[in-house]
């Protein structure tokens, strides 16, 4: 029935209810009114509270997931910094491979922890989707229930106003008994009460349905955003995993190279140690030849200074000549083939750096090349060496390089300019660079200048 048709019948309904009210006075006066108690239909008022409670619970879960994503963002940023530092270390100078190995392992552990948090986020998002689906099913059921109740109410209205019922006054005037009057009044009251209860349930159903719908719409929007943010976290995590694999591969490569160099060193030492007298003689000859070379270099540096080609003092720091792994530091060493010096039975006058064969070697600082060629101090098996004067009292030496000519003697070079390539010439125990710094005639620890 249309709203217009119902409105047309309202006056009649109002008149009828006024007659009923008037007739109800009679039983009260006679003291014989005893209207039967009518049990109302089941009340569903808790459904709205339940729907609102679900909405609050979902809102809290979404807030928790947002907080988890924020925590993941922080963890990802920290991971990115750790990976960058590890990459820099692997691409630069590695003093202690065991320490680097521990850092890479710790990085793998941190990435696995982030991965576990990400998996938790994915699980929670999946659980949230399931809850939204259940609420959508509840919404559909409530919508169907509301439709049935609205149809029932419409049918009751149709029966009440289209059946042309006999009014109470007509029943009274027709001579019906007082008992018949009470029965008719009771039926009328029952119908009105049921109509009111049904209308109340429809109103509550509408409120519940609205709450469920709002929950679904808002949660879907939030979960779509979280899903996008989760996808971003997956992309970041994939990048971190790829970086970790690269770092692990780089570490394995370095470990393999260092292992090969150390094996060559041990093999050479074993050969030299087999003839201890010959070893002592070779070490003495090398020391004497090195002094002769030093004197020659000192003269070359003095000549360059006298000609105004180099400054009296060097201002600034020195850089590492190439990335790689330090296999032998400066100073006292356990390598028995190194010559004695002072209180040290075996002394290493520079730093040995291992990198892939042919790695470019760069000038540690700006200066002038004073010597490039074979280091005949090594005897019959000389090493290719480059020596740069940075000032009248500071020189850097680069030994065991390949016999290639990226620079010439007398040439001015800038800091970081390629001056040669890592090789295996001379008395070398595998491909590496022997880097030395001479200050005021003495070889000092290069780390003092880096």
54 and 154, same domain (yes or no): yes
151 and 38, same domain (yes or no): yes
270 located within any domain: no
128 located within any domain: yes
316 and 370, same domain (yes or no): yes
User: What digits encode the pLDDT tens for the residues 396-406?
Assistant: 999 999 998 89
User: What digits encode the pLDDT tens for the residues 336-361?
Assistant: 566 666 677 667 788 999 888 899 99
352 located within any domain: yes
276 located within any domain: no
80 and 157, same domain (yes or no): yes
264 located within any domain: no
Mean pLDDT over 280-294 rounds to 71
344 and 392, same domain (yes or no): yes
pLDDT at 437: 95
> Which is more confident, 263 or 70?
70
pLDDT at 218: 85
72 located within any domain: yes
Q: Which of 209, 243, 259 is the last residue of a domain?
A: 259
Mean pLDDT of the chain: 77
What is the rounded CA–CA span in Å between residue 380 and residue 377? Answer: 9
Contacts of 142 (CB under 8 A, 6+ apart): 47, 205, 208, 209, 212
Q: Which of 259, 291, 317 is the last residue of a domain?
A: 259
218 located within any domain: yes
The total number of structural domains that make up the chain: 2
pLDDT at 414: 96
Mean pLDDT over 11-23 rounds to 39
φ and ψ at 126, to 5 degrees? -65, -40
What is the rounded CA–CA span in Å between residue 296 and residue 213? Answer: 92
83 and 12, same domain (yes or no): yes
- Three-state DSSP class for residue 432: strand
Residue 423's domain spans which residues?
Answer: 283-449
- The residue whose two tokens read 């929670």 is 124
325 and 390, same domain (yes or no): yes
Q: If pLDDT is split at 50, 70 and 90, which confidence band does 12 have?
A: very low
Cα angle 158, 163, 167; round to 5: 115
Q: If pLDDT is split at 50, 70 and 90, which confidence band does 69 have?
A: confident
User: What digits encode the pLDDT tens for the residues 144-202?
Assistant: 888 888 888 788 777 766 655 555 555 555 555 555 655 655 666 666 777 777 778 87
pLDDT at 202: 79
Q: Which of 198, 227, 259 is the last residue of a domain?
A: 259
354 and 401, same domain (yes or no): yes
254 pLDDT above the threshold of 50: yes
Q: If pLDDT is split at 50, 70 and 90, which confidence band does 285 have?
A: low
Mean pLDDT over 6-32 rounds to 37
Q: Looking at residue 420, which CATH number applies to its domain?
A: 2.70.70.10
236 and 300, same domain (yes or no): no
309 and 435, same domain (yes or no): yes
Q: If pLDDT is split at 50, 70 and 90, which confidence band does 391 have?
A: very high
Give per-residue burial for 201-239: e unless 16+ CB within 10 Å, then b: bbebbeebbebbbebbeebeebbeebeebbeebeebbee
> Which is more confident, 6 or 90?
90
10 and 157, same domain (yes or no): yes
Report the candidate in 79, 157, 82 with the shortest Cα–Cα distance to residue 115: 79
95 and 216, same domain (yes or no): yes
277 located within any domain: no
pLDDT at 370: 93
Tokens for 313?
């003092």
Q: CB burial class (10 A; 0-12, 13-18, 19+) of residue 20?
A: middle
143 pLDDT above the threshold of 70: yes
pLDDT at 8: 37
């Amino acid at each position: 029935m249309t709203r217009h048709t119902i409105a047309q019948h309202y006056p009649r309904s109002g008149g009828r209810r006024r007659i009923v009210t008037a007739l109800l006075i009679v039983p009260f006066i006679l003291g014989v009114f005893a209207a039967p108690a009518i049990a109302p239909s089941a009340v569903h008022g808790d459904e709205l509270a339940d729907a609102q409670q679900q909405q609050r619970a979902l809102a809290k879960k979404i807030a928790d997931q947002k907080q988890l994503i924020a925590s993941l963002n922080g963890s990802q940023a920290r991971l990115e910094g750790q990976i960058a530092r590890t990459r820099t270390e692997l691409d630069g100078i590695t003093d202690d491979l065991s320490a680097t190995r521990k850092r890479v392992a710790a990085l793998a552990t941190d990435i696995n922890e982030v991965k576990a948090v990400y998996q938790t986020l994915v699980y929670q998002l999946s659980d949230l989707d399931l809850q939204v689906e259940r609420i959508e099913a509840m919404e559909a059921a409530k919508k169907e229930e509301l439709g049935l109740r609205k149809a029932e109410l419409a049918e009751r209205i149709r029966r009440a106003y289209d059946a042309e019922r006999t009014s109470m006054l007509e029943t009274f005037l027709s001579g019906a008994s007082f008992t018949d009057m009470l029965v008719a009044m009771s039926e009328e009251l029952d119908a009105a009460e049921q109509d009111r209860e049904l209308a109340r349930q429809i109103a509550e159903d509408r409120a519940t349905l609205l709450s469920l719908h709002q929950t679904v719409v808002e949660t879907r929007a939030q979960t779509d955003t979280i899903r996008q943010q989760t996808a971003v976290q997956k992309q970041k995590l994939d990048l971190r995993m790829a970086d970790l694999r690269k770092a692990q591969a780089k570490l394995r490569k370095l470990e393999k190279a260092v292992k090969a160099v150390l094996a060559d060193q041990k093999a050479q030492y074993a050969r030299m140690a087999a003839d201890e007298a010959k070893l002592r003689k070779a070490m003495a000859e090398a020391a004497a030849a090195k002094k002769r070379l030093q004197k020659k270099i000192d003269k070359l540096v003095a000549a360059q200074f006298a000609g105004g080609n180099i400054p009296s003092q060097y201002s600034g720091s020195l850089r590492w000549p190439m990335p790689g792994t330090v296999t032998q530091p400066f100073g006292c060493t356990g390598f028995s083939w190194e010559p004695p010096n002072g209180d040290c039975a075996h002394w290493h006058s520079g730093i040995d750096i291992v990198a892939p064969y042919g790695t470019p070697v760069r000038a540690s600082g700006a200066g002038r090349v004073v010597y490039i060629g074979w280091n005949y101090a090594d005897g019959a098996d000389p090493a290719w060496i480059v020596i740069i004067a940075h000032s009248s009292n500071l020189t850097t030496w680069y030994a065991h390089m390949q016999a290639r000519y990226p620079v010439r003697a007398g040439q001015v070079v800038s800091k970081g300019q390629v001056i040669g390539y890592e090789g295996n010439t001379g008395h070398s125990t595998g491909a590496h660079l022997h880097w030395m710094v001479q200050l005021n005639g003495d070889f000092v620890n290069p780390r003092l200048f880096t």
